[in-house]
Copies of this chain bind each other. A is one copy, B any other.
Amino acid sequence: MSNLQGLHLIAGIAAAESSDTFSAKNPKTGETLEPVFHESTLGEIDRAMNAAADAFDEFRHTTPEQRAEFLEAIADETLALGDEFLERTEAETGHPRPRCEAERGRSMHQARLFAELCREGSWVDARIDTAKPDQQPMPAPDVRSVMLPVGPVVVFGASNFPIAISVLGSDTVSAFAAGCPVVVKAHPAHPGTCELAARAIFSAIEKCGLPKGIFSLVQGKSNEVGAALVSHPQTAAAAFTGSLGGGRALFDIANARPKPIPFYAEMGSVNPIFVLPGALEERAGEIGNGFVTSLTTGVGQFCTNPGLVFGLQSEKLDSFKKSAAAATSEWQPATMLHAGIHHAFETGVGNLKKMPELNLVAESADAPDPAKAEAACYLFEADAAGFRAHPELLDEVFGPVSTVVGCESPTDFEAFARQLDGSLTASIHGTEADLKEHAGLISILEEKIGRLIFNGYPVGLEVNHSIHHGGPYPATCHSHFTSIGTRCINRFVRPVCYQNWPDSALPDPLKNDNPLGIWRIIDGERTQAGSE
């Protein structure tokens, strides 16, 4: 049996007004998947946003414990979707079943992590400066402030993470944890996965007795749906994971509004790897092999996929390339997420092949099947002059392709690092002595990278309090914020300050006796104590 109906879920009510429809396809088979889905109409979008705005006041006044229980219920209901959910995800994305299960696990972990964050409670950054009646030249009032939710949040999920960065992703659960209603625009490549996920959230809402307007799912393939959501007067913020082109277009719409809203886009990056001399000396072959594993994981469809490798031109770099080439040849072509991504990948690889300064070191021995939207893995090489000749190499090609750049000197490392755009990650292979020797390079990277990885690979990240998944443009639209990890809740809150406010009317985090037992900053000191 299939529960899928091809409907939007607007504040708990199924809807499908438009006769403009689309379907998901199985990228592995080209098969069109039932049922058909409907574009959202402007009226449906309006209903979803207004329902979110109407539910905001009640939702933001729930206790942290209520929101924690809600998030845990989302995790439980996600699991309760059972095999149908995994089957649909697999069919819509070509992701093998274990990947779908891993994503589901991560998504549940994210919901529970934000439940913990709610319960612990100190994330609200409560601050109190007590009154100083004797201050000269003027007495100081009692001033307190705390983070409160901004209002309805629009979420655009990623094509490459149909579960963990989509309807059930960090954007949604962090917005809920903050107390913001959420309207998700389903990704048109996995609308069925989104519909099922939306039902899990709606079951959790019913189980917890929360207002139905705090969540809606709207479907749509056209750019107009996204534009209408970002333009809607009730939208307070939006979060997006996807391509630079799509993200920038919506960012521009968000900023052109009469009242601009923050648009938090994570748009991927080139994720350079630097293999420093000590590491090359010790384990060139091992790194070459590990690099290709990272490059091909998920058919290279990660925001953190390593698109460039820099090493000193040397025999050892040749060993690295030899090992990477062997792994590349061995890698079995595999199906990409959808025909559009596959086409963009083939175009990107085609462009690289046309660059005379680039040499194709290796490609998958087995030919990819275009009917299955399969990608082969490609490994290119360039010397320093070749890299300099092609600033296009700084642009991401989404998929399993990378270029190894042979540098002439450590000076090249620094010069090339300076040329890089903002990036989510950089990986450094080296010894501690290498790090000291190349302190200049590291310093440059610290100024343009979100996450620096030592002797590891960029693909795969730990969802916790410390992780940062962000970086200067074009990695994101605002480098202060992350889209993954507990810090990502900051995107959906703003400080509200209370001056000489009576204790009885203060929000709980600011009350004198600290009823939530959270960490606060009182007169500049961090404490869990009460205030006067």
Residues of A within 8 A of B (CB): 56-57, 61, 102, 105, 116, 120, 122, 125, 127-129, 137-138, 140-141, 143-145, 148, 150-151, 251-252, 255, 259-262, 421-422, 432, 435-436, 442-443, 446-447, 449-456, 460, 462, 464-468, 470-474, 477-480, 482, 487, 490-491, 493-502, 504-505, 519, 521, 523-524, 526
Closest to A132 in B: B462
Looking at A450, A487, A521, A526, which has the most chain B CB atoms within 10 Å of its CB?
A521
Does B145 contact A435, Cβ atoms closer than 8 Å? no
Given contacts A143-B462, A497-B451, A524-B465, contact A473 B259 (CB under 8 A): yes
Q: In the complex the two chains form, what is the Cα distance from A362 to B498 in whole Å?
A: 32
6 contacts across the A-B interface (CB closer than 8 A):
A127-B466, A150-B480, A259-B473, A432-B502, A442-B505, A464-B524
Closest Cβ of chain B to A464, distance in Å, is 4
Does B495 contact A129, Cβ atoms closer than 8 Å? no
Closest to A254 in B: B255
A260 touches which one: B143, B477, B500 (CB < 8 A)? Answer: B477
With a cutoff of 8 Å between Cβ atoms, the chain B residues found around residue A504 in the complex are: 432, 435-436
With a cutoff of 8 Å between Cβ atoms, the chain B residues found around residue A487 in the complex are: 125, 127, 145, 495
Does A494 contact B474, Cβ atoms closer than 8 Å? no
Given contacts A262-B480, A443-B57, A505-B432, contact A138 B460 (CB under 8 A): yes
Does B143 contact A464, Cβ atoms closer than 8 Å? yes
Given contacts A122-B526, A460-B138, contact A145 B468 (CB under 8 A): yes
Say how many copies of this protein the assembly contains.
2
Closest to A258 in B: B473
- State the 3 A-B residue pairs at the shortest beta-carbon distance, nearest first: A468-B497, A127-B466, A451-B497
Q: In the complex the two chains form, what is the Cα distance from A500 to B462 in whole Å?
A: 12
A499 touches which one: B151, B451, B477, B505 (CB < 8 A)? Answer: B451
Give 20 A-B pairs besides A56-B447, A262-B478 with Cβ atoms closer than 8 angstroms.
A61-B443, A116-B524, A127-B466, A128-B466, A129-B464, A129-B467, A140-B464, A150-B479, A255-B255, A435-B502, A435-B504, A436-B504, A442-B505, A451-B498, A454-B502, A467-B497, A468-B497, A471-B494, A480-B491, A480-B493
Closest Cβ of chain B to A259, distance in Å, is 4
A453 touches which one: B436, B451, B499, B505 (CB < 8 A)? Answer: B499
Given contacts A129-B464, A143-B466, contact A496 B452 (CB under 8 A): yes
Q: In the complex the two chains form, what is the Cα distance from A261 to B251 in whole Å?
A: 12
Closest to A507 in B: B446
Given contacts A259-B473, A455-B500, A494-B480, contact A466 B137 (CB under 8 A): no
Does B502 contact A446, Cβ atoms closer than 8 Å? no
Q: In the complex the two chains form, what is the Cα distance from A436 to B503 in whole Å?
A: 12
Q: In the complex the two chains form, what is the Cα distance from A414 to B505 in whole Å?
A: 18
Does B468 contact A435, Cβ atoms closer than 8 Å? no
With a cutoff of 8 Å between Cβ atoms, the chain B residues found around residue A143 in the complex are: 462, 464, 466-467
Closest Cβ of chain B to A111, distance in Å, is 16
Does B495 contact A446, Cβ atoms closer than 8 Å? no
A454 touches which one: B102, B122, B455, B500 (CB < 8 A)? Answer: B500
Closest Cβ of chain B to A413, distance in Å, is 15
Does A456 contact B500, Cβ atoms closer than 8 Å? yes
Given contacts A141-B462, A145-B467, A477-B260, contact A449 B129 (CB under 8 A): no
Does B496 contact A449, Cβ atoms closer than 8 Å? yes
Does A474 contact B259, Cβ atoms closer than 8 Å? yes
Q: In the complex the two chains form, what is the Cα distance from A259 to B464 in whole Å?
A: 29
With a cutoff of 8 Å between Cβ atoms, the chain B residues found around residue A523 in the complex are: 465
Does A450 contact B524, Cβ atoms closer than 8 Å? no
Q: In the complex the two chains form, what is the Cα distance from A493 to B470 in whole Å?
A: 13
With a cutoff of 8 Å between Cβ atoms, the chain B residues found around residue A493 in the complex are: 480
With a cutoff of 8 Å between Cβ atoms, the chain B residues found around residue A455 in the complex are: 500
Q: In the complex the two chains form, what is the Cα distance from A262 to B263 in whole Å?
A: 12
Q: In the complex the two chains form, what is the Cα distance from A148 to B148 in whole Å?
A: 25
With a cutoff of 8 Å between Cβ atoms, the chain B residues found around residue A451 in the complex are: 496-499
